Amino acid sequence: MHWRGNLDLALHFGITLMSPTPNSPTLVYWRVPSVGSVKINTDGYVRDGFASGGGVIRDHTGHCIRAFSAGYGDIFILEVELRAILQGIELARRMGLVDLWIETDSTWPFIAFHVVGVRR
């Protein structure tokens, strides 16, 4: 839980606040897809009953071909992540792009795809 109030007030009531230990930085690389392929990077977000998601489609040089986003209403984060991925795949297919790499920061969609299975 993050403290959003007055520090003096917390101290007055004997509440000791400790700063969270920051995580060590992690170096992340964006791998380009192979020539002739595109990569779809997606992300989802839920806060206060509102969900949104989107992503970008990039070619093998990293050039952004298309960006997309949508609001999804009040749904769980897994559904948001899955909808963003699906939206990216559908957009790429409409553009005639068929060799797709999918990348997201969430492992849950890939667990869902693995359990349910994916068909072409």
What pLDDT digit, counting tens, does each position of 101-116 carry? 999 888 877 777 766 6
Sort 39 into a burial class: Cβ within 10 Å, 0-12 / 13-18 / 19+: buried
Percent of the chain with pLDDT over 70: 80
SS3 assignment, position 118: coil
Q: What is the DSSP letter of 23?
A: P
What phi and psi values does residue 113 have, to the nearest 5 degrees? -65, -40
Rounded average pLDDT over 37-62: 94
pTM (two decimals): 0.72
